[in-house]
Amino acid sequence: MEIRLASVNDLPVLSEIEVEAGRLFADHGMEEIAGDEGAPLSVLMEHQAAGHVWVAVVDDKIVGYLTALLVDDCLHVEQVSVRPSHGRQGIGGALLSAAAQCALDEGRPALTLTTFVEVPWNAPYYQRQGFRLLSEDELTPGLRAIRAREATMKLDKWPRTAMRRDLP
């Protein structure tokens, strides 16, 4: 497996990976999430131009990716998706490690993200990756704005949380 920064040519396949990975949410009664179309190419291009898209490559094929953006001086993990056929092989963790290294190189204090609480490959997984749940009073202005946007998208139909992984 190789983890590297994404090129512009890599971007078209990323939404396909997100859609494929997203189908797993149907098994948890989250059909609306399972039917999501994935990030638009224009959004992926913005993340890529900022140097915050990493891809996981196995046998010359992209099998996973991570996008991030800056939120309140932290590197905020916007999306992590891995093809289900390549799940449970450490790909998500390797992508998170690449993002953490970037954050360290940029002098950022932490990685942050928002996620579903009760989905096994969401909050429980991120806790195993060193993230901790944030209480409401720990939310930064940027994380509050993200949570508010998620609420307007009706993502709060299922329990959600913000998480943080402090970096050394």
Q: Quote the pLDDT of residue 37.
A: 85
The string of pLDDT tens digits covering residues 83-122 is 999 999 999 999 999 999 999 999 999 999 999 999 999 9
User: What is the pLDDT at residue 17?
Assistant: 96
Partners of 69 in the β-ladder = 76
pTM > 0.75: yes or no: yes
Which CATH number characterizes residue 22's domain? Answer: 3.40.630.30
Report residue 131's pLDDT band, with 50, 70 and 90 as the boundaries: very high
What pLDDT is attached to residue 152? 94
Among residues 85, 154, 76, 82, the alpha carbon closest in space to that of 125 is found at 82
- Which tens digits make up the pLDDT trace of 36-79? 888 999 999 999 999 999 999 999 999 999 999 999 999 999 99
CA 127, distance to chain mean position in Å, is: 14
What pLDDT, on the 0 to 100 scale, is given for residue 130? 97
Domain containing 52: what range?
2-166
E strands, 10-154, are 53-58, 61-71, 74-82, 110-116, 132-133
User: Total structural domains in the chain?
Assistant: 1
- Mean pLDDT, the chain, as a whole number? 96
% of the chain residues with pLDDT over 70: 100
Q: Which 3 state secondary structure label does DSSP give 164?
A: strand
What pLDDT shows up at residue 163?
A: 98
Query: Residue 6 has what pLDDT?
Result: 98
Structure tokens at 48: 């890529």
Query: Is pLDDT above 90 for 35?
Result: no
Structure tokens at 133: 């749940």
At a CB cut-off of 8 Å and minimum separation 6, what does 162 contact?
112, 113, 114, 133, 134, 138, 139, 143, 146, 147
- CA geometry: angle 41, 75, 50, nearest 5 deg: 40
How many angstroms separate the Cα of 124 from the Cα of each of 1, 83, 133?
Answer: 24, 19, 10
